[in-house]
Amino acid sequence: MKRIFSLLIVVLFAGNLFSQELNCQITVQAAPGLQVGPVEKEIMTELEASIYDFMNNTRWTTDVFEIEERINCNLMITISEMPSQSTFNGKMQIQSSRPVYNSGYNTVLFNFEDQDISFNYLRNTAILFSIDQYRDNLSSILAFYAYMIIAYDYDSFELKGGTKYFNKAQTISANAKNSGDPGWSASAGKKNNRYWMVDNAIQSVFEPIRITYYNYHRLGFDIMYDDMVGGRKAVLESLQLLDKVQRARPGSLNLQIFLTSKSDELVNLFSQAEITEKNAAINVLKKLDPTNSSKYQEILN
């Protein structure tokens, strides 16, 4: 299985292993209505290539990955404003997934749209990053999400296995909070920005979400090839853990990230269950995500 941490040390120098953790696809595009000329299009193309190189060729951990073990993820940056040829404002959609054991199916782990994207980028300039200091907003945003992607991935394979990487993401957030750039402040009146995302991830009140990431994937989906009924039961039990979070922090960002990533998958999964299990799933999902109650009702169809 993926993430055999201690055993990988003995094969650090094997020729078929790679240190890069991410297999990240990058799209940089102009928003509908944004007028861009040939020069601006060239800059966006260069920006896309620079981000691709940064995400895929930076060594984010000390673990060694085989090429097929890399974490699949996508970043889509939509530029809505270019006040100058080096200044970009817009949004970014971040999504990551991981394979389910013994199947060709990939399950979404992280799915979030960050609407506070603002950065400077100069042509022919490499994106540089240091965990110890804030250099610029582009490298901080990209590194922050690299560590969040890795943290959720590790949590899905080992119980709270992503702690180290949530802590790194929090360090980036702390370094950036006085920059004045959007998305890093606790006092900006928003509870859905990067500051709160990582702060919530490591708070004890949100621990049931992290436990759910492990139980849902390793004890649920990863055993379904051999035991569909048992795996589906484990998924339902993992969802029931989230009730503690919903009661303590109704509608919290991190709970919504989980449900946004999983809602379609859960409808498909429990649509195949027995009626008693269908009703149990609908009840818990409606409590966790009341705005999508009609969607979960489709489980009965």
DSSP-assigned states of every residue in 209-274: HHHHHHIIIIIIGGGTTT-HHHHHHHHHHHHHHTHHHHHHSTT-HHHHHHHHHHHHHHHHHHTTS-
What is the reported pLDDT for 16?
Answer: 42
Asked, for residue 188, whether it belongs to a domain, the answer is: no
In a domain, 185, yes or no: no
Q: Which of 269, 297, 271 is nearest to 283 (CA)?
A: 297
Tell me the C-alpha distance between 179 and 199, whole Å.
Answer: 18
Is 242 buried (19+), middle (13-18) or exposed (0-12) by CB count in 10 A? buried
Note whether 130 and 264 are same-domain residues: no
Evaluate whether residue 69 is within a structural domain.
Answer: yes
Count of CB atoms within 10 A of residue 45's CB?
11
Same domain, residue pair 147 and 223:
no
- Co-location of 130 and 16 in the same domain: yes
Residues 20 and 158 in one domain: yes
One domain for residues 151 and 268: no
Phi, psi of 23 (to 5 degrees): -115, 85
Last residue of a domain, one of 158, 175, 192: 175
| Number of domains making up the chain | 2
Does 110 map to a domain? yes
Last residue of a domain, one of 157, 175, 193: 175
Same domain, 42 and 125: yes
| CB-CB contact of 133 with 177 (8 Å) | no
90 close to 40: Cβ distance less than 8 angstroms: no
In a domain, 47, yes or no: yes
Q: Could you tell me if 169 and 297 lie in one domain?
A: no
In a domain, 195, yes or no: no
pLDDT of residue 24: 98
Is 196 within the bounds of a domain?
no
Position 171 scores a pLDDT of: 98
| Segment 219-268, tens digit of pLDDT | 999 999 999 999 999 999 999 999 999 999 999 999 999 999 999 999 99
CA nearest neighbour of 45 among 25, 26, 23? 26
Question: Are both 116 and 22 inside the same structural domain?
Answer: yes
Kindly state whether residues 20 and 160 are assigned to the same domain: yes
Do 85 and 227 belong together in one domain? no
Q: How far apart are CA 164 and CA 178, in angstroms?
A: 23
How are beta strands 17-18 and 65-66 bridged, if at all? antiparallel
The amino acid at 246: Q
Domain annotation covers residue 293: yes
Domain extent for 78: 1-175
Shared domain for 10 and 133, answered yes or no, is yes
Q: Which residues, given as ranges, of the chain have pLDDT below 70?
A: 1-19, 188-189
Are 228 and 88 found together in one domain? no
